[in-house]
Structure 1
Amino acid sequence: SIPRDLIVDIPDCETKQEDGSTKVIPGSSGVRFNQSLGDLGRDAGCTMRTVTETTGVKPDHFMMADFNAVKTLTSAVGGVDVCVEHAVDDPKSHLKLPAGESTVEGEQALAFVRTRHAFGNEGDLDRIKVQQQFLGSLMRKMSSSDTLTSPTKLVKLAEAATKALTVDSAIGNVGTLKDVALELKEVPPKNITFATVPVLDNPAEKVKATVVVNEAKAPQVFDMIRNDISFTEVEQKKKAKQKKEDAAVAARLEGEKSEPAEVRVRVLNGGAPSGSAGRELTYLQNEAGVTKSENAGNA
């Protein structure tokens, strides 16, 4: 997911006009990502070019789902299961849901993916998380139901998709979309990862409204996508490594312990409120029995 409020450079892009002619729309620097579609007549091709410009990842194909597509496709699979901790009544998106699990489709599904005032800090980054959960649930629904194994339902879904989605010419027919769906069926839902471009609040703004790419974290994410590295595998390896480290720490903590008075502690001030180091030192020496403790000044 790329946040709509991410500041990017949109390159020049050639678009096809309604009369069949082509027109080059000049690029823009330092603007929101969502200006790559619709603004100044930019089409989905402009968005794809902006994705490549920003991430270095060149999309092979694209599918564009508008509001009607969300309604049509969720109805085609018989609804999508969602779960909310608290009851939702959002007057802006018109989403009304009881606490717990619900199945949404059509207009209600659209309200679910559009709402943001009912979740988190009411911002777009929290809405992205909700949309990712929704898509994950949609994938599970398609994998667990007979939609992808019943030829009749599969063709019906592909036909609904061709009407509801804008796709590039290479995949723009019922047969190809059916083949894509059949390939997708072979991917276990647990191996499907949703990730968001790592971002930071825009440092140029006093009132935070936009975000910028987090240069410390984003390059690794882009590199993994470019090189087809599994996010789930990396996560599993990370958990295994942490488990091993935790076991090593636990092993070191077994056995005899030194007396507090034998332990030497240096307290360094790392920017906590004034007097924190002194209070900690008083506690160590007078209550914890760590008599060999000292105030070592600023870190």
Structure 2
Amino acid sequence: MGRRSRVLKAAGLTLAGALVLAVAAAGWAYWHLDNNIKSVDIDNALGDDRPAKAVATPSASASVSASASPLPTEALNILVLGSDSRSGKANKQLGGGNSSGARSDTAMVVHIDAGRTKATVVSIPRDTLVTRPSCPLSSGGSTAVAYGAMFNSAYSVGGPVCAVKTVESITNVRMDHYIEIDFAGFAKLVNALGGVTVTTEQDIDDDKSHLHLKAGTHHLDGKQALALARTRHGIGDGSDLGRIGLQQKLVKALLEQMASTDLLTDPTRLYSVADAVTGSLTTDTGLDSLTGLMRLGQSLKSLSSDHVKTVMMPVVTAPSDPNRVVAKEPAASRLWESLR
């Protein structure tokens, strides 16, 4: 065999080896990301005792052949919870404390209009007093109905299933999906995106969340962004209502950061972001795969932060406790009706 043939054979073997390694790496990455996602079978747990599903609106692509797999365009309601986990080394380093439980300190109902080009994000204050319904427990049995319970107690006593059932009971809106992101995972996501830029309208001086910012525009890393999402003692009257305003700013800022980051041209960062997202998520079984999440993401490609409206469920001070709130009627009912 001549020298040229030996060189070509060696080059071919090297290329073939590189392709095999690339395919193996891609396969492992997909498996890893897919297995990152934790899930809860909420539909099976709650059965048929739920608000009716919204009637799907036929899309212009409905006549496209099934093989084309058109992206879904019907309206969606997604319950998004921020789980303030208190366990694990990473969470403790971020201020999680020493206890082993978790709290749903952030709750948002995300309504995506039919067509997937507009969205409304409704925050539910954690200090809202509600009637918490009886919820099934994974260990068997069920919780008791609780009157005048704090909204975020639903997650504490019955996990995601009870959180969804409680939201559906107070809104009469069917939650099509459930997404929970944990304490440390949120910070990791922000870091993977290269930080997030937020403008605050007042000084923030909160020793409990370890956040100290002057009014103005700031580029925050993951730890700072998490502190911003958690802070409430250094703004306004120190209630949860002031924190909700900051969380809504942060949501829109994150959407803008993701839109401005060309992840497709940076595979390393794309993997880092995907790993951060999937590794921190708990979803319902309808979204518990990389394919399901990607399909949801692709269906939202025309949704920009400019078309995301953030509001808070209308509330008033609870007659029984000046440190708690209750839904303000009929404004709250009108808001939920608009999302059905």
Opposite residue 92 of structure 1, the aligned amino acid is K
* Stretches of structure 2 lacking an aligned partner (at least 5 in a row): 1-122
Q: What are structure 1's unaligned runs of at least 5 residues?
A: 227-299
CA-CA distance at 1:137 after TM superposition:
0.7
Q: What's 1:124 paired with?
A: 240
- 2:202 and 2:168 mapped to 1: Cα distance? 39
**1:215 aligned partner, one-letter code:** E
Superposed, which structure 2 residues align to 1:273-288 within 5 Å? none
Distance 1:24 1:135, change over 3 A: same
Q: What percent identity do the matched residue pairs reach?
A: 36
Letter of the aligned partner of 1:209 in structure 2? N
- Is the aligned partner of 1:200 residue 2:316? yes
Is the 8 Å Cα contact of residues 155 and 174 (structure 1) preserved in structure 2?
no
Corresponding position of 1:211: 325
Matches within 5 A, 1:179-258: 179-205=295-321, 208-226=322-340
Summarize deviations over 1:221-249 as a string: whole Å, max 9, x none: 001111xxxxxxxxxxxxxxxxxxxxxxx
Partner of 1:35: 153
Describe the shift of the 1:88–1:30 C-alpha distance in structure 2 as closer, same or farther (beyond 3 A): closer
Q: Which residue of 2 aligns with 1:134?
A: 250
Cα distance, 1:141 vs structure 2: 1.1
Distance 1:137 1:172, change over 3 A: same
Greater strand content:
2
Counterpart for residue 6 of structure 1: 128
Rounded Cα–Cα distance in structure 2 between residues aligned with 1:174 and 1:12: 33
CA contact 2:313–2:332 (8 Å) conserved in 1:
yes
Shift of 1:148: 6.8
C-alpha distance in 2, partners of 1:86/1:128?
Answer: 15
SS in 2 for 1:26: coil
Alpha-carbon displacement from aligned partner over 1:200-228 (angstroms, at most 9, x marks no partner): 111233xx1111111121111001111xx
Evaluate the alpha carbon distance shift between residue 56 and residue 173 of structure 1 in structure 2; reply closer, same or farther with a 3 A threshold: same
Cα RMSD (Å): 1.9
Contact 1:162 1:172 in 2 (8 A): no
Higher RCO by CA contacts (8 Å cutoff, separation 6 or greater): 2
Secondary structure of the residue aligned to 1:194 is: strand
Is the CA contact (8 Å cut-off) linking 2:173 and 2:336 kept in structure 1? Answer: yes
**Partner of 1:70 in structure 2?**
186
1:155, 1:178 within 8 Å by CA — same for their partners in 2? no
Q: What is the rounded CA distance, in whole Å, between the counterparts of 1:183 and 1:154 in structure 2?
A: 19
* Closer, same or farther: CA 109–148 of 1 in aligned 2, 3 Å: farther
Larger Rg: 1
Post-superposition CA distance 1:45-90 (Å, at most 9, x none) = 1010000100111111111122112212111221111112344332
Structure 2: distance between partners of 1:155 and 1:58: 33
**Aligned-partner Cα distance in 1 for 2:318–2:265:** 47
2:231 is equivalent to residue 109 of structure 1: no
Q: What SS does structure 1 have at the residue aligned with 2:338? A: helix
With over 3 angstroms needed to count, the CA separation of the structure-2 counterparts of 1:187 and 1:148, relative to structure 1, is farther
Aligned residues: 218
Answer whether contact 2:200 2:216 (CA < 8 A) is retained: yes
TM-score by length of 2: 0.60
Change (3 A) 1:218 1:86: closer
C-alpha separation in 1, matches of 2:252 and 2:127: 23
Secondary structure class of the residue paired with 1:82: strand
TM-score (norm 1): 0.68
SS at match of 1:89: strand
> Structure 1: how far apart are the matches of 2:202 and 2:312?
25
Partner of residue 284, structure 2: 168
Q: Partner amino acid for 2:332? A: A
